[in-house]
A and B are shown apart, each in its own frame.
Chain A
Amino acid sequence: MPREADLPHVARLVDAAAAAGADALEIHNMGVLRIVREKGGPVPAHMGAYANVYTHLAARVMRDAGAVRVRPNAEVSLEETAILARESGVEVEVLVHGKIPLGVTDRCFLLTEPEESDPKCPSACGEVHWLTSRRWVLKTVGKGVLSGRDMCLLEHLPRLVADGFRIFRVEGYYETAAYRSEIGTVYREALARAFAAGPFAVEDRWADAARRHAPRGLCNGYCFGTSGRAYVGTVLQDANPVV
C-alpha cells in the first residue's frame, strides 16, 4: 500500500524490475498500475489478489490501464470467473492451492512499536501466527491476513481445464520451501494428467502432501458459490481438523 511519499521509490522499483528483465510485476494498487502505464509498460502488469477484481468490467478498466493479467478475488466463483475470462479481454489467473489472501495493511499487526524500533521486527514474521475465534482461523503474517485453511482445487483440475483456464497459481506466500516444492510438484503432475485428457484420479501421495501441508484444513467453497471455509469434493473433504 504505497503512500504518497512512497511513490518515487515505487517508480524506481519499476525501473529496476525492467532493467533486471523481470517477467511481470504483480500489482495490487491502482496507482502503481498507473505508474507502470506512465512509464510505457516496461514490464507486464499482473493484477494481484488485493486488486479486488470482481467483474469483467473492472478487469476491462484495468486492461485499458495496462494490465495484461488479472487474478479474480478468491470470493469469485468458478462460474463467474469463466464469465470474467470470456468478457474481459485479459488473461485470468486462478488460485488452485494455498492460503487465500484476505487483507493487507501498512502497519504490522505483530508489532507493538514502529518497525524501526520494535525488537520483534523482523523475527516476528518468521514465526507462525494464527488468529482463532470460535470455529474459524486466520493466519497473520504481520502486514497481511490469510485464510487459515488452504484453498485446494486438486480434484477439480479436469473441470478447470475443460472450462478453458490455463493460468494456475499455487500461493506460497510465507510458506516453507518444502511446501512450495512439494505442493508445486503435486500440481505439476496433476495438471499434466488433467491436460492429457485421460482418466483423472487424485493419487494418494498427492492427497497426503495436500493434507500434510494444511494443518488447519482445506477449503474451496468460494469456487462453488458457498462459504469460503467449506470444502466441496469427494477425495479431500476429510482434511478439515476442528479448530
Chain B
Amino acid sequence: MAELLASGGSMEMVRTAFDNGADAVYVGATGWSRRRAQYEMDDPAIVEAQRYARSVGRILRVAFNTLPSSSEVPLFLARTDALYAAGVRDFILTDPGLMMALKNRHPDTILHASVGCTIINIQDALFYKEAGASQVVAECRMGKSTMRRIKAEAGSGSRSSCTPPPATRSSAAAR
C-alpha cells in the first residue's frame, strides 16, 4: 500500500496537506527536529495538529530526529510522554537509543528511522528494526531492489522522498 506523506510547518500547512490528499503529515517538534526552526511546531500546535489528523482519519508523525546528548534524554522522554498522552503514536527518530527507549516505554508507538540514520542496505534496516523502528526513510539513491528486500526481510515500510537530501553520512556539525 502506498502512503502519501507531506511535511507541515504550521497548522495551516498541516490542514492544507490533509485537505489535499496527504495520508500522513510530519511535523518537527520545536528544538528537536531537522527542520528549520521557523517550521517547527510547539507542543500545543502539535496537539492541535494531532486532533485534526484524527478528525479526518489520517496520521500525524512527529519528528524528534536531531541527535541530542545524554543529559537531554529525560527531556526527550518527558516531551514524548506528553505527546503520547495527547494521542500521538508516530515518531521519527535518528538515535537508536532513543528509539529503543521510546518503544520500551510505549510499545504501541510506530517509530520511523529518519534519513539521518543513513539506511542504505538491508543490514542497516534490520539494525534499526531491532532498535524499534518499523518504518525507514530510504536514502535517496537506494535502488528498488534494496527497498523490496527491506520490505520482505525486515518487514519495514520505506519512505522515498521526492526532494532528496544529499547522500552523505554526516554529523550534526556538518549540517
Contacts and interface: CB of A to CB of B under 8 A. Distances in A.
B173 A30 contact: no
Contacts of B101: 57
Contacts of B143: 4
Given A4-B145, A58-B97, A107-B167, A30 B69 contact: no
B130 interface: yes
A7 B122 contact: yes
A29 interface: yes
B70 A84 contact: yes
Interface residues of A, number: 47
A33 B126 CA distance: 11
Interface in B30-54: none
B50 to A, nearest CB: 26
B97 A56 contact: yes
B1 interface: no
A31 B121 contact: yes
A127 B15 CA distance: 53
Interface string B148-175: 0100000000000000001111111110
Contacts, number: 135
A1 B173 contact: no
B123 A61 contact: no
Contacts of A57: 70, 73, 95-98, 100-101
A31 B149 CA distance: 14
Contacts of A74: 171, 173
Interface in A128-176: 145
Contacts of A73: 67, 171-173
B97 A61 contact: yes
A87 B97 CA distance: 12
A207 interface: no
B98 to A, nearest CB: 6
B173 A61 contact: no
A105 B168 contact: yes
Contacts of A4: 120-122, 143, 145-146, 149
Contact of A77 (B69, B124, B127): B69
A159 B94 CA distance: 31
Contacts of B67: 52, 54-55, 73
Contacts of A1: 118, 120, 169
- Residue of A52, A100, A107 with most partner-chain B CB within 10 A: A52
